[in-house]
Amino acid sequence: MKISYIKGVSFGLTSGIITTLGMMVGLNAGTHSTLAVLGGILTIAVADAFSDALGIHISEESENQHTPKEIWESTIATFFAKLIFALTFVVPVVIFELQMAIIVSIIWGMLVLGIISFWMARSQKAPVWHVVGEHWIITLLVIFITHNVGELIAKNFGGLS
């Protein structure tokens, strides 16, 4: 696979996992609303896919080392990887009660992140569990922080409509 596609897909999937899980956990902690979480997923899937695609586009351009074709390949791969993967989190929210959907989503995200990290570590001949562990720790930290931010928002602004 071309490096431009690998960059875009790996960036889009990783961002799709971490951003979507963080948003889901935070909104759940703050609202306990299936509608809010579902709306958040759909919003993240579209808006953040465009944002990440533009971010990778500008990043690749700023390196001044890639052809326009390679830049657009990374841009498009990022957009579709983020959009499609973020949308996979809709499935558990529609199928399960919200608390279970959050748990299923965390397991799903961690599984896919583990697979990406495993593949990356193997391709770089790096210690697999170091790479996987590092990425899982960062993701769990995001989940922990966004959960607490959601609870703080509910506590301090819960009466606002």
pLDDT, one tens digit per residue, over 129-140 is 999 999 999 999
Is pLDDT of 161 > 80? Answer: no
Report the chain's mean pLDDT, rounded to a whole number.
Answer: 95
The phi, psi pair for 97, rounded to 5°, reads: -60, 150
DSSP state of 89: T
- Give which of 46, 115, 35 is closest to 87, Cα–Cα: 46
| Closest listed residue to residue 116, CA positions, set 104, 134, 103 | 134
pLDDT attached to residue 158 = 79
> Is-contact 12 81, C-beta < 8 A?
yes
Residue with tokens 């009660």: 97
For the cut 90, the answer to whether the pLDDT of residue 100 exceeds it is yes
Mean pLDDT of 62-90: 96
Whether the predicted model's global pTM rises above the 0.75 cut: yes
Please tell me the distance from the alpha carbon of residue 67 to that of residue 76, in angstroms, as a whole number.
Answer: 14
> What pLDDT is attached to residue 1?
72
pLDDT over 60 (residue 15): yes
Q: How confident is the model at residue 126, as a pLDDT? A: 96
